Structure 1
Amino acid sequence: MWYILYTLIFLHETCICITEGRYLLETKYIEVPVDHFSASPKPRFFKLRYLLNDKYHVKGGPAFVYTGNEGDISMYAQNTGFLFDIAPIFNALLVFIEHRYYGVSLPFGNDSFASSDNLRYLTTTQALADFAYTIEALRRTFFGDVLSYDTYPFVAFGGSYGGMLAAWLRMKYPYEVVGAVASSAPIFHFPGLTVGCAAFNAQITRVFRRYGGERCVRTVELGWDAVLNLSRTKLGMDFISSSWKLCKPLKTAEDVRRLLDWLGSVYENLSMFNYHYPADFVAPLPAYPVKIFCDKLTTAYFNDTKGLIDRFATALAIYTNYTGKRSCNNVNGSYEEPAEIAWSYQTCVELAMPKCSLEGDMFPTKSWSYEGHSEACYERFGVRGLGRDWPAMAYGGKNLRHYSNLVFSNGLMDPWSVGGVFSNVSSTVLAFNITDGPHHVDFRRADPADNNYVIEARRFHVRIIKQWLNMV
């Protein structure tokens, strides 16, 4: 292949050891094309970051490759302890590849988000090609003198969006990875497939009802109107800003809208990361944070709207300031962060994941249509998406029987599980459901608090991977 020369030249740049966090990894870079699919007299390349741990690797052992998510790859590496737990079993090399446009893997540097023209290379197809490109280079570096070219010692792993990519990598590049384990991968959460737009918020409501009770759900419902009613006046906005310790006080209707969007994202993250032990994935959280949030919200009575807002302030601190180190809450910050811009662009162009709310869940009633979604994308980025049916057309939709060596695992208390694969499709496309499991809990490190469902899921993964690698 024409690009092999580049990979051989640029694979081993100077590494920086990551010492913070639980796991020691080396930071490395590989030069990859900005555009894998167009010919150019002067092709442009950029540095794609990947993290590597060869502590457990023995010559002839496989490589476990984590396909990066919509964020800095080091965060996912430090929260995927399952790979470090099983690496000694397989004598495996561990590789975590960052997704283009996230972390430090920016095709146009600081200008990567400056225009829709610069963003147009942010697609799943380009990202998958990055992963395949990197695997090719790693194959020649670590396995070139050990295995024949028709032996595939690479196994893909990914959680959430990264799980979708791990599965799609096996589907699109089956000669690069022998199989893929996709945890909490909502590959059916697209228009035209089985998931309705209300399923996601309905699942969040079920999690809050399960761990916080009906009173918590109804109090959360009251909170939306409390914010809207109080924010109709400047004095009301000032009260909310003070009570909730907002870094930027509310001043406009747009500020209030962003506050409500932020509040919804807090509920989403609390339900996703409702682990049975303290964790610090997206934020430092206690064990069962949904329960603690609901206890704080409902154990004291309130007499009026301001009292309710203050109750929410106490409860929200479980998510916003569990460590007590944060002085204020930057509600608007997420809109300005590069990772948020990148993910918003992706969901506009390719990955339209419907979300709406109906009567009976704890969110305000809200509709969703692809046309409205497309219009909002055009207003923000000046581009139209690839169409509501693009993901199904590009990756097969529900026709998974045409593929092989895939495992889909889902925690049944995870909101994203509503778009997941719940039953075996064939003898080689398998599903494992984790009762009471939150978001890709099976990919986290083993913990004494793990229940039997999580333990069995990890054993299942190990057993299937051994089959793929002809170890049984």
Structure 2
Amino acid sequence: MATMQLLLIICLAAFCNGFTSVRLHRRPPDTDVSVAERRFLQKLDHFNGADTRVWHQRYFVNDTFVQPGGPVFLMIGGEGEANPTWMQYGSWLTYAQKLGAFCLLLEHRFYGESQPTLDMKLENLRFLSSRQALADLAHFQTVLSQDLGLSGRKWVVFGGSYPGSLAAWYRMKYPHLAYAAVASSAPVNAVVNFPEYLEVVQASLARNHSSCPKTMKVAFDSLIQLLAYKENYEKLTEHFRLCVMLEINSIMDNTFFLETIAEFIMDIVQYNNDNREFEGGKGGNVTIEVICDLMAKESLGAPYDRFVAVVQTILEATKQTCISAEYKKFIMDMKDYSWKGIASQGGKQWLYQTCTEFGFFQSTDSLSQPFSGFPLSYYVQQCKDIFGPGFSLSSITDAVQQTNEYYGGLNIQSSRIIFPNGLIDPWHALGINSNISYDVVAIQMQDAAHCADMYPERPEEPLAVPVARRSIFTLLTKWLQS
């Protein structure tokens, strides 16, 4: 996973990932927002009473809107550094202002500055799991409720993408602590092989340009043909602005290059026309419509030439000077177990979680998608190359099955959970897309991307997004008053 596009990555800096941006944002409340950064003494292993080791977990507090008897809103951090900007912007703060909520953000263990162990050697990564993360939330809530006098208040948890799953699971596994949950774009069904991701990418590309994915498929097939001959490497290096000269010595080198290039399109679809500029993203002006317009522009040449123009356009919009597409370098970075390495920003940790809990491998093992060349076996080999030969297809399959047995997959048995999903977002294929009961509610957003309901509102967003926010607020208000 070259840039760890798997879902989620270094997503919303704490909640939803992404690398694009938009032009307009709005601070929800018309008031000064006070945000405090603090540390919480957390247990290392919640499931071994004999292990007394502790560490300091980072969290943030915003008490700007708190009213007597108001709820506590807890935003769950995810597979990246927690971004305190989310304590100043976002739809959940609009709800907080109206409902008088005390707001908290807890950074996920092993991400950002929440480092429970001296390094990320394999024997330490065993403490990185969704179950330990949920237990972190429970211990954090229990202690803070006592220390800050919040015991009598109703706690509502929020999260997007993987943290969205955590929000739903926290409500399910700790119903005595979490009163309600908003689980945005939450992939609650773990799967080893996830070719449906690219099937949704194809459908999303075809929305306004029915020929777009077909033309892209022709272009990608041409790229594969060019890769077959070493004399083309210099040209490919120039076309895709690689950081170093392309060198293919193995199937994994070849596959990694193809996946790296395809991820540029996957990212555009997943985060299409969203609103992340407030947290530092770039390139939001490049949308599905923009790239499909380029793919339809015959004056640019053959489909391959148009595809090159698309990738270069994305690079320029996101201000990336070059593409790193070397599998050996990727493996070397990922095997670095220090907290100072580039992989420590979230890539290594999230890859470990996919290899040990979730799978989520976005393969090309489907005919209904616009790419080729990165099958399930490629992702399994990555797990082996980084974490050791014990990480086989069988072990990953067993781990994913255990995850679904523990959480229930799509068989949600709970109450007071909201599942918003954007239908352009490929991750909605693993989420809850229809109501399970009167208070386990799915909200589908036509034309909307990953975690769209979480962002600050803006005039340009799809019409379904503000409607979804109003529905979320209405449900929260109803539940909190009951």
Same fold (TM over 0.5): yes
Q: Secondary structure at the match of 1:214?
A: coil
Q: Which residue of 2 aligns with 1:120?
A: 126
1:27 matched to 2:37? The reply is yes
Cα-to-partner distance string for 1:285-309 (whole Å, 9 max, x where unaligned): 23461111222333243556xxx55
Kindly indicate whether the alpha-carbon contact (under 8 Å) linking 1:184 and 1:411 is maintained by their aligned counterparts in 2: yes
Number of residue equivalences:
430
Provide the rounded CA distance (Å) in 2 between the counterparts of 1:257 and 1:76.
Answer: 36
Query: Which of 49, 60, 84 is equivalent to 1:39?
Result: 49
Unaligned 5+ runs, structure 2 = 1-25, 28-32, 334-342
Provide the rounded CA distance (Å) in 1 between the counterparts of 2:330 and 2:62.
Answer: 31
Superposition pairs for residues 200-279 of structure 1, below 5 Å? 200-211=197-208, 213-253=209-249, 254-275=252-273, 279=277
The Cα shift of 1:389 comes to: 1.3
Provide the rounded CA distance (Å) in 2 between the counterparts of 1:84 and 1:154.
Answer: 15
- Residue identity over aligned pairs, in percent, reads 28
Provide the rounded CA distance (Å) in 2 between the counterparts of 1:272 and 1:79.
Answer: 24
1:381 matched to 2:390? The reply is no
Q: Which residue of 2 aligns with 1:315?
A: 310
Q: Residue 278 and residue 72 in structure 1: after superposition, are their counterparts in 2 closer, same or farther (change >3 A)? A: closer
Q: Which residue of 1 aligns with 2:476?
A: 465
Q: Residue 455 and residue 414 in structure 1: after superposition, are their counterparts in 2 closer, same or farther (change >3 A)? A: same
Q: Which residue of 1 aligns with 2:196?
A: 199
Provide the rounded CA distance (Å) in 1 between the counterparts of 2:309 and 2:409.
Answer: 43
Provide the rounded CA distance (Å) in 1 between the counterparts of 2:421 and 2:182.
Answer: 11
Q: Which residue of 2 aligns with 1:184?
A: 185
Q: Residue 62 and residue 303 in structure 1: after superposition, are their counterparts in 2 closer, same or farther (change >3 A)? A: closer
Provide the rounded CA distance (Å) in 2 between the counterparts of 1:255 and 1:360.
Answer: 25
Provide the rounded CA distance (Å) in 2 between the counterparts of 1:266 and 1:75.
Answer: 27
Kindly indicate whether the alpha-carbon contact (under 8 Å) linking 1:79 and 1:444 is maintained by their aligned counterparts in 2: no
Cα RMSD over matched residues?
2.8
Q: Secondary structure at the match of 1:266?
A: helix
The Cα shift of 1:126 comes to: 0.5
Q: Which residue of 2 aligns with 1:3?
A: none
Query: Which of 296, 316, 327 is equivalent to 1:298?
Result: 296
Kindly indicate whether the alpha-carbon contact (under 8 Å) linking 2:161 and 2:186 is maintained by their aligned counterparts in 1: yes
Q: Which residue of 1 aligns with 2:409?
A: 397
Higher relative contact order (CA 8 A, sep 6+): 2
The Cα shift of 1:283 comes to: 4.1
- Normalised to the residue count of structure 2, the TM-score between the two structures is 0.81
Q: Which residue of 1 aligns with 2:323?
A: 329
What amino acid maps onto 1:26 in structure 2?
A
1:420 matched to 2:452? The reply is no
Q: Which residue of 2 aligns with 1:340?
A: 347
The Cα shift of 1:230 comes to: 2.1
